[in-house]
Amino acid sequence: DTAVSQTPKYLVTQMGNDKSIKCEQNLGHDTMYWYKQDSKKFLKIMFSYNNKELIINETVPNRFSPKSPDKAHLNLHINSLELGDSAVYFCASSSRTFVGANVLTFGAGSRLTVL
């Protein structure tokens, strides 16, 4: 079974649309993240949730809204998509009980293309 799964893997859409990317982890981890990797391959954190509570919210436009219905899921909803939102979005999770807790397990990524 895939530890951190994201859907969809590929998403092509028009500017102005609203889209969601879903993430689920079956590792029993209590912290989940969204990272964005742009065309220059820089990987930057967007959000972090611990037990459904938002704990990191980097400078991300309000059009991006994470939702964590339970600690195994962290979905990313994007309103009014713009060309600059085109990127690969990675979901990740980690366990706070692990010493040196920044051991993240990443999903395979969701490639968003905005036309």
Partner 1 sequence: DAKTTQPPSMDCAEGRAANLPCNHSTISGNEYVYWYRQIHSQGPQYIIHGLKNNETNEMASLIITEDRKSSTLILPHATLRDTAVYYCIVSPGDQTGANNLFFGTGTRLTVIP
State the residues that interact with partner 1 by CB under 8 A.
4, 30-31, 33, 35, 41-45, 48, 50, 55-56, 58, 90, 92, 94, 96-109
Q: Which is nearer to partner 1, 14 or 42 (CB)?
A: 42
Smallest distance from the beta carbon of 52 to partner 1, in angstroms?
Answer: 12
The DSSP annotation for 41-80 comes to: --EEEEEEEETTEEEEE-S--TTEEEEEEETTEEEEEE-S
Closest to 60 measured CA to CA, from 75, 69, 48: 48
Report d(CA 2, CA 14) in Å as an integer: 30
**In the complex, least distance from residue 15 CB atom to partner 1, rounded to whole angstroms:** 25
Q: Which residues pair with 87 in a beta bridge?
A: 112
Residue nearer to partner 1 on the CB measure, 57 or 80: 57
Q: Return the number of the residue (78 or 107) whose C-beta is nearest partner 1.
A: 107
Cα–Cα distance for residue pair 3/65, rounded to 1 Å: 23
User: Which residue, 75 or 89, has its beta carbon nearer to partner 1?
Assistant: 89
Minimum distance from residue 104 beta carbon to partner 1 (Å): 6
